[in-house]
């Protein structure tokens, strides 16, 4: 018996975006206000990449650059790595490993509808394993 959990069942629907011309300082403020550590970077309303807390630390702060003067497009990661909502959590994990990323954005009908992080995938997998273990002890 195979157990399949799709991304749409565990994805986070809160996705925040920022314009590519905004500063890193603006991005940090938006991340804090939105309670997220990644922002979709948009150019003329279309997704162009992603800026994460790690991008900011490595490509701005770590290099001694001033967040108020550096544009988000200078530190973002591009292209945006996406996956469909019907993909399984196993497929998402595999893609994260292959692409060496910590988050994927879910695209449905040409629009970003959510995101999934390594942490959420780990939590979902752990929950399934715990539920299966409980079920096995009940049998």
**Is 119 contained in some domain?**
yes
**Is 78 contained in some domain?**
yes
What CATH number does residue 73 fall under? Answer: 3.10.580.10
Alpha helices in 1-139 (DSSP H): 24-34, 53-59, 72-75, 89-99, 118-138
**Is 124 contained in some domain?**
yes
Q: Domain span at residue 102?
A: 7-138
The tally of domains found in the chain comes to 1
**pLDDT of 3-35, one tens digit each?**
678 999 999 998 999 999 999 999 999 999 999
Q: Please give the pLDDT value at position 101.
A: 93
**Is 1 contained in some domain?**
no
**pLDDT of 82-119, one tens digit each?**
999 999 999 999 999 999 999 999 999 889 999 999 98
**pLDDT of 121-133, one tens digit each?**
888 888 877 877 7
**Is 96 contained in some domain?**
yes
């Amino acid at each position: 018996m195979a157990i399949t959990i799709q991304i749409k069942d565990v994805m986070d629907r809160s996705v925040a975006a920022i314009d590519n011309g905004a500063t890193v300082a603006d991005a940090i403020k938006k991340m804090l206000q939105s309670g997220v550590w990644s922002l979709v970077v948009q150019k003329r309303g279309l997704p162009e990449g992603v800026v994460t807390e790690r991008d900011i630390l490595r490509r701005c702060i770590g290099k001694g650059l001033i967040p108020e003067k550096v544009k988000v497009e200078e530190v973002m990661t591009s292209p945006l790595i996406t996956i469909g909502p019907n993909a399984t959590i196993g497929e998402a994990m595999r893609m994260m490993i292959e692409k060496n990323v910590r988050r994927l954005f879910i695209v449905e009908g040409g629009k970003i509808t959510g995101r999934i992080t390594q942490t959420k995938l780990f939590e979902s997998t752990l929950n399934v394993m715990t539920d299966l273990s409980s079920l096995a002890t009940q049998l």
